[in-house]
Amino acid sequence: MSEPLVLGIESSCDETGVGIVRGTTLLAHAVASSVEEHVRFGGVVPEVASRAHLEAMVPTLEQAYEQAGLDVRDVDAIAVTSGPGLTGALLVGVAAAKALALAHDKPLYGVNHLAAHVAVDQLEHGRYTEPAIALLVSGGHTELLLVNDIATDITLLGGTIDDAAGEAFDKVARLLGLPYPGGPEIDRVARDGDPTAIAFPRGLTTGRDLDRYRWDFSFSGLKSAVARHVQHEQRMGRPVAVADVAASFQDAVCDVLSRKAIKACVDHDVPRLIMGGGVAANGRLRHFVLERAAKAGVEVRIPPPSLCTDNGAMVAALGAEVVRRGIAPSPLDLPVDSSLPV
């Protein structure tokens, strides 16, 4: 079979995304974000996100058709994120995908959002040889995965036991008086700071914690340490050195993420690391990962920022892999699952 032409729909959080791919070739990548509507709440409000998806779905589909110069009648299959994510938000994308599948007699494929974050890399760098280790870091998730087959065999090695990595960035940014989303702000402000100024804790990296939580992460202790530092400075009547705190916090997060990701590659004898999620855009994380990977002989694949954050192209990319493998389509009563496992 020639490479399948797949339409992908994503609506698990605050981005309405529609992508069209032919195999590993990206043909359309349209995204409408409701992030601005969540700014004043300091985080994603599920009800607001669902309503925004409803409004954005048809215009985003049309934008993707225009980019690709084709429409749903031309595609071989329709893929949609069926989980994990916000239930109400997922329902909008899945309802749209079902309607299109039914109206145009196309096979429907419900796919996993986390696996899609991994699959998207091939639109940029081509197909990779499996297995691979994947590090997914965003506002909603922090996972370390062992990918033996992108469509059928992924093992969750570990994840966060409290806050997601992006959530930690967002919460610390708030403590420092920086706007939401906080990750890009901290990334920017930290460039003028000294990352060694404050010795913040590296959660679950030593002693019994490491034995018990080998591939897991914890960022809430780090967030509390930043809060205590800020309160202490304020009590002492000193201005908070925002750039230094941001840089020291950022290094603590990126040190742990990169250390465990590369260690997972070495211990599982997998010479390939794929990164995804909004936090993968972080400059310091890229620096740490590339430095450690070079020493360990690990190839690193990081998609460009526009493909790292939530989008429909990643769903289409994974859908194409599922179709290529001849896997049966999902039923038209495909349910959503907010905590769908990989």
Closest to 249 (Cα-Cα) out of 303, 302, 307, 178: 178
- Least CB distance to ligand KG4 at residue 104 (A): 29
Q: Whose Cβ is closer to ligand KG4: residue 244's or residue 310's? A: 310
- Least CB distance to Zn ion at residue 79 (A): 15
Q: Whose Cβ is closer to ligand KG4: residue 174's or residue 259's? A: 174
Q: Is 287 annotated as a binding residue?
A: no
- 131 prior amide bond cis, ω within 30: yes
> Segment 190-249, which members bind ligand KG4 (CB under 6 A)?
none
Residue 46 touching ligand KG4 (CB under 6 A): no
Q: Whose Cβ is closer to ligand KG4: residue 122's or residue 250's? A: 250
> Segment 306-335, which members bind Zn ion (CB under 5 A)?
310
Residue 181 touching ligand KG4 (CB under 6 A): yes
> Segment 19-38, which members bind ligand KG4 (CB under 6 A)?
none
- Residues in contact with ligand KG4, shown as a per-residue x/- string from 87 to 126 under the rule CB under 6 A: ----------------------------------------
Alpha-carbon gap, residue 20 to 324, rounded angstroms: 15
Sheet holding 299-301, edge to edge: 153-159, 142-149, 132-137, 272-276, 299-301
Q: Is 139 annotated as a binding residue?
A: yes
Among 11, 50, 82, 138, binds Zn ion (CB under 5 A): 138
Residue 143 touching ligand KG4 (CB under 6 A): no
Alpha-carbon gap, residue 266 to 230, rounded angstroms: 38
Residue 142 touching Zn ion (CB under 5 A): no
Alpha-carbon gap, residue 307 to 302, rounded angstroms: 9
Q: Whose Cβ is closer to ligand KG4: residue 5's or residue 165's? A: 165
CA-angle at 341, arms to 18 and 8, nearest 5°: 10
Is-contact 217 142, C-beta < 8 A? yes
Is-contact 198 245, C-beta < 8 A? yes
Is-contact 254 288, C-beta < 8 A? yes
Query: Binding residues for Zn ion, per CB under 5 A?
Result: 138, 310
